[in-house]
């Protein structure tokens, strides 16, 4: 639970710090789902759902789209890299979803999607 005054910068720092603490454990490159707002349990659900969005798509709200891009840039600057071996691709995407929330709180949840949840698709 962040303070409402933490704002976008506080959310970005929290997400980047969470990925940094996870380090190589989720077998990067990862997809990061972020849920903002609602209650903390709702934030967790929307963070989980956010990882299912197609890579390369962004939140339709330009404020959250900008946060997705900035957060991804900072995560990839951590130097964790694929499999934690170093490099500039620690995450493939950051997807943020949000819900309205009470003015006195700022629930934020982060879901780190490990390599096991990635998939591929094709049309034959």
Read off the pLDDT of residues 101-114 as tens digits, 9 standing for 90 and up: 999 999 999 999 97
- Whether the Cβ atoms of residue 100 and residue 41 lie closer than 8 Å to each other: no
Q: What radius of gyration do the chain's Cα atoms show?
A: 14
- Whether residue 95 has pLDDT greater than 90: yes
Q: Is residue 122 part of a domain?
A: no
Q: Is residue 49 part of a domain?
A: yes
User: Would you state the pLDDT for residue 9?
Assistant: 98
Q: Is residue 121 part of a domain?
A: no
Q: Is residue 82 part of a domain?
A: yes
- Comparing 71 with 118, the larger pLDDT belongs to 71
Q: Which domain holds residue 86?
A: 4-114
**Mean pLDDT for the stretch of residues 13-40:** 96
Q: Is residue 76 part of a domain?
A: yes
**Mean pLDDT for the stretch of residues 7-19:** 97
Q: Is residue 119 part of a domain?
A: no
Q: Is residue 120 part of a domain?
A: no
- Whether residue 120 has pLDDT greater than 70: no
Q: Is residue 41 part of a domain?
A: yes
- Whether the Cβ atoms of residue 110 and residue 2 lie closer than 8 Å to each other: no
If one counts the domains in the chain, the total is 1
User: Would you state the pLDDT for residue 123?
Assistant: 87
Helix (H) or strand (E) holding 67: helix 62-76
- Whether residue 2 has pLDDT greater than 90: yes
Helix axes 62-76, 7-22, angle to 10 degrees: 40
Note the pTM of the prediction, 2 decimals. Answer: 0.91
Residues pairing with 32 in the sheet: 94, 112
Q: How far apart are alpha carbons 63 and 85 in whole angstroms?
A: 33
The region, left, alpha or beta by phi > 0 then psi within -120 to 50, assigned to residue 4 is: alpha
């Amino acid at each position: 639970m962040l303070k409402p005054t933490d704002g976008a910068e506080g959310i970005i720092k929290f997400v980047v710090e969470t990925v940094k603490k996870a380090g190589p454990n989720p077998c990067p490159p990862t997809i990061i789902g972020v849920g903002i707002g609602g209650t903390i349990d709702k934030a967790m659900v929307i963070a989980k759902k956010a990882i299912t969005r197609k890579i390369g798509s962004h939140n339709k709200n330009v404020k959250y789209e900008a946060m997705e891009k900035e957060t991804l840039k900072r995560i990839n600057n951590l130097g964790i890299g694929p499999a934690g071996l170093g490099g500039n691709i620690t995450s493939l995407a950051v997807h943020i979803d949000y819900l309205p929330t009470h003015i006195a709180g700022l629930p934020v949840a982060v879901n780190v999607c490990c390599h096991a949840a990635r998939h591929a698709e094709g049309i034959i």
